[in-house]
Amino acid sequence: MKVLVFALTVALAAGYQVNFVPELATGKTYVFKYEALVMGGLPEEGLARAGVKVLSKVMISALSADNFILKLEEPEIFEYSGIWPKDSFTPATKLTSALAAQLLTPIKFEYANGVVGKLFAPAGISTTVLNVYRGILNIFQLNIKKTQNVYELQELGVQGVCKTHYIISEDAKAERILLTKTKDLDNCQERIIKDIGLAYTERCPECEARAKTLKGTTAFNYILKPAATGAHILEATVTELIQYSPINILNGAAQMESKQKLTFLEAAKTPVEPIRAEYLHRGSLQYEFGSELLQIPIQLLRISNVEAQIVEVLHHLVTFNVAKVHEDAPLKFIELIQLLRMARTESIEALWTQYKNRADYRHWILNAVPAIGTHVTLKFIKEKFLAGELTIAEVSQALLASVHMVTADLEAIKLAEGLAMNAKIQENPILREIAMLGYGTLVAKYCAENPTCPAELVRPIHELAIQAVARGEIEELIMTLKVLGNAGHPGSLKTIMKLLPGFGSAAASLPLRVHIDAVLALRNIAKREPKMIQEMAVQLFMDKALHPELRMVTAIVLFETKLPMGLVTTLADALLKETNLQIASFVYSYMKSMTKSTAPDLASVAAACNVAVKILSPKLERLSYRYSKALYADTYQSPWMIGAAASTFYVNDAATLLPRAIVAKARTYFAGAYADVLEVGVRTEGVQEALLKIKDVPANADRMTKMKRVMKALSDWRAQPSSQPLASIYVKFFGQEMAFVNLNKAIVDQVIELANGPAIQTAGRKALDVLLGGFALHYAKPMLVAEVRRIIPTAVGLPMELAFYTAAVAAASVEFQATVSPPLPANFHASQLLKSDIDIRAAITPSVSMHTYAVMGVNTAFIQAALLSRARVQTIVPAKVELRIDMIKGNFKLELLPVQGIDKIASAIVETYAVARNVEDLQPPK
């Protein structure tokens, strides 16, 4: 009997669980009261916060068994900025004209067994408004299991597919079902998140393991009423907390709190009717990014006439940044960028046509266009250059800036490829270098966001490399290797390996510098495929027949892959048998430096190197600094998640007078990520070749004798047809090679020819005339130094944004006047200056204004509510100088003159405040 009762109880319980699935029956309209709040700020009491509140009735009717329609009734939006909870919300009543019509439009959605499916809405409903609807529907998303009361799963919601924990219990006395589910926003299969300006950073999981910079969780609590065909939602409350701290999360963090409450009011019989419009498929429950990507969070602009507003801001920048920089110039420059981002392509074309012949306006436009950050930028530069409307200097500057500001999508990559392969670009070596390296950079940025990016993106460069090998074009081959190194695509590995000794037959006929550049091209690939690169690099390092410099460069690449203990031990064992002390010293010094590392991501490498050094120190500890060295040093503060590292590689050769190569690199750690900020490398093999041919010079020889021997050696170097470059230099920012220079014979010959040619002499004479006649110069340079953004949807459907901006405008005003006594005749010779008394007066007024913003809060095209920290720095350092030179007697006098009218040399203001604003309360920028 007991067994039968137990079985019936289990069966009834199992059957009863089916009713837990929320029911929205046909023939009824379910009416709910809806309240939503998003509030951001610091957790301490007495500090300002900012937020948005939404109040409305929610009406849901069934069109069929699994198709429903949702409409908001009497929606109200309030904005808040002040001391929470002391101050009160202010109604954003003026939002009615911009927002209410969209909020009152019904949307359709699929709903079956507690799961929200496709969404349908008219084209006129903005993505921002549709996301608010998603926040409401997210409450109805319930994945009920029939046979379990406690379970977890990866559940789709507004913020993505995240780990969700369910607990279901019954209050039999009250005839209610209590359901709780919690979402771990740090544990998602697919997290909806948008990063801007972080393509060059590498995640540091070991850093985040100690203290997370961004943490979030959402808790849903439901009160359900069971029924025969399904449960009814009587009340649902949602509480979400997202907290962020880029540094000290142990002592508090900025936080964004979201709350929702849905309360059942009635089940009416009057259905909600769809509007007379075409309903289009508009995605699923998952949040979609919209106009917030264009909306810079620092301020909210009301765009009434974008073309006129661009001209107005442009005129302000040109007018008020002449003698000195205007205090608000950085903010105005940011306004110009935002307006250009919102402008149509035709409007930008019209602006350029209007102002391209006015140098001051033209200058500001060309500095702002790269910051538009889309393929529109590259298209503009390409079209204007091919039309002959840009100078080489202008297009070089614009291309360099654009490549690193443009969002890498397939359209931008296609444009970059067209630029790199364009015949007019290829005619100019500097432009071709910038365009080619930039193409590789865009591929790298695209692949950083799309890990499955196709190898076809780098195939054009592979073909160029194959052609260069076939034709014996070494410089072209080196260029392609640097492009592949920037791209860092694993699909390039086979092409690069063919150029390395021991892996490809073509490698034997290639010079050492090609082998070295081929190895260096593996560094960015190693970030994605470290084990693959380790296997290949170990083979190269172990080949004692290879040039020592190549083996040392291979060791650099190996250590950047964060070697495991086994490989470090293998290297240590190889060094015990190494006969080349240059290599032994280089790797041993690298290991020894690594033992002192405090960076979390290198902890295992440091431990492995500590063991290796103990094995190697008896043999290699006393090698002097005439042997190659690798030095590494870092510092890392775990509670603050801030650190810095520096590396220096000094590659020597017993047969050379100077080091063969020197490389210096700097890395920063911040907020759970790291980036290789700067790297500079110099190779001097050509200099070595020339200097080794200098015949012995007596130690007591005079300076002129030594100089003549050096000049004779360089002249002999120029005369040899097969001489390698005198030297080569490269510069990398954030792991991407920006520029490289090979000082080869062609460049040296051009410089000598130019220096001795009539053109330079004519130019020199014109410059002298200008100096003696006096001149005034005014120049301003705007820069968007940093734009880093992370946009995350909240449970409410409004986007939470974390942003960091730095913009600066530097200006300089120079006045120069020279007086010569006795006065010079009209057609004077430069030698007459040697018999004159020259009086030079110069006034220089350099000034800089820089604004830095840190923002956390809601940022949409309709409304903003955020905690904003702003630092403003302005400096003006004027100087007046008088220099008198008596050329006959050889006397000169330098005098600093007093500067009038300057009462402030530098100022700095730092402020943090909460701000809430809506677009209807704004006026166009002035």
Same domain, residue pair 159 and 111: yes
**pLDDT for 848:** 92
Question: What length does the chain have?
Answer: 926
Query: Among 168, 132, 124, 167, which Cα is nearest to 56's?
Result: 132
* Res. 721: pLDDT tops 70: no
Residue 111 placed within a domain: yes
Residue 478 placed within a domain: no
Q: How much is the average pLDDT of 161-188? A: 91
The residue type of 888 is I
Residue 414 placed within a domain: no
Same domain, residue pair 736 and 885: no
Average predicted confidence (pLDDT) for the chain? 85
Strand 29-41 to strand 280-281: parallel, antiparallel, or no bridges (unpaired)?
A: unpaired
Q: Tokens at residue 653, please?
A: 């050769």
pLDDT-derived band at 851 (thresholds 50, 70, 90) equals: very high
Same domain, residue pair 824 and 776: yes
**pLDDT for 665:** 93
pLDDT-derived band at 568 (thresholds 50, 70, 90) equals: very high
**pLDDT for 263:** 97
pLDDT (tens digit per residue) in 749-768 = 665 555 555 555 555 556 66
How many domains does the structure of the chain reveal? 4
Residue 165 placed within a domain: yes
Chain-centre distance of CA 317, in angstroms?
Answer: 26
* Res. 719: pLDDT tops 60: yes
- pLDDT, greater one: 459 or 908: 459
- pLDDT, greater one: 414 or 27: 414
pLDDT-derived band at 902 (thresholds 50, 70, 90) equals: low
User: Is 133:158 a contact under the CB 8 Å cutoff?
Assistant: no
Same domain, residue pair 592 and 655: no
- pLDDT, greater one: 251 or 717: 717
* Res. 889: pLDDT tops 70: no
Same domain, residue pair 698 and 830: no
Q: How much is the average pLDDT of 75-86? A: 85
Q: How much is the average pLDDT of 95-117? A: 84
Same domain, residue pair 741 and 765: no
* Res. 924: pLDDT tops 90: no
* Res. 171: pLDDT tops 60: yes
Q: Tokens at residue 886, please?
A: 């008596």
- pLDDT, greater one: 10 or 625: 625
pLDDT-derived band at 926 (thresholds 50, 70, 90) equals: very low
* Res. 83: pLDDT tops 50: yes
Q: How much is the average pLDDT of 729-747? A: 82
pLDDT (tens digit per residue) in 509-518 = 899 989 999 9
pLDDT (tens digit per residue) in 526-557 = 999 999 999 999 999 999 999 999 999 999 99
DSSP label of 100? I
Tell whether omega for the bond before 925 is within 30 degrees of 0, i.e. cis: no
Least confident of 154-168, 358-372, 405-419, 618-632: 618-632
Residue 695 placed within a domain: yes
Residue 139 placed within a domain: yes
State which residues form the domain around 68.
Answer: 2-288
* Res. 5: pLDDT tops 50: no
Q: CA distances (Å), 648 to each of 536, 749, 918, in order?
A: 24, 33, 52
- pLDDT, greater one: 906 or 444: 444
pLDDT-derived band at 503 (thresholds 50, 70, 90) equals: confident
Q: CA distances (Å), 757 to each of 392, 407, 714, 745, in order?
A: 22, 45, 21, 18
Three-state DSSP class for 344? coil
**pLDDT for 700:** 59
Same domain, residue pair 87 and 176: yes
The domain boundary residue, chosen from 242, 267, 288: 288
Within 355-407, strands assigned E span none
Q: CA distances (Å), 260 to each of 136, 798, 838, in order?
A: 8, 12, 79
Same domain, residue pair 765 and 861: yes
Three-state DSSP class for 716? helix
**pLDDT for 925:** 45
Same domain, residue pair 236 and 123: yes
Same domain, residue pair 66 and 154: yes
Tell whether omega for the bond before 618 is within 30 degrees of 0, i.e. cis: no
Residue 444 placed within a domain: no
**pLDDT for 178:** 93
Same domain, residue pair 87 and 116: yes
**pLDDT for 525:** 93
Same domain, residue pair 669 and 768: no
Residue 344 placed within a domain: no
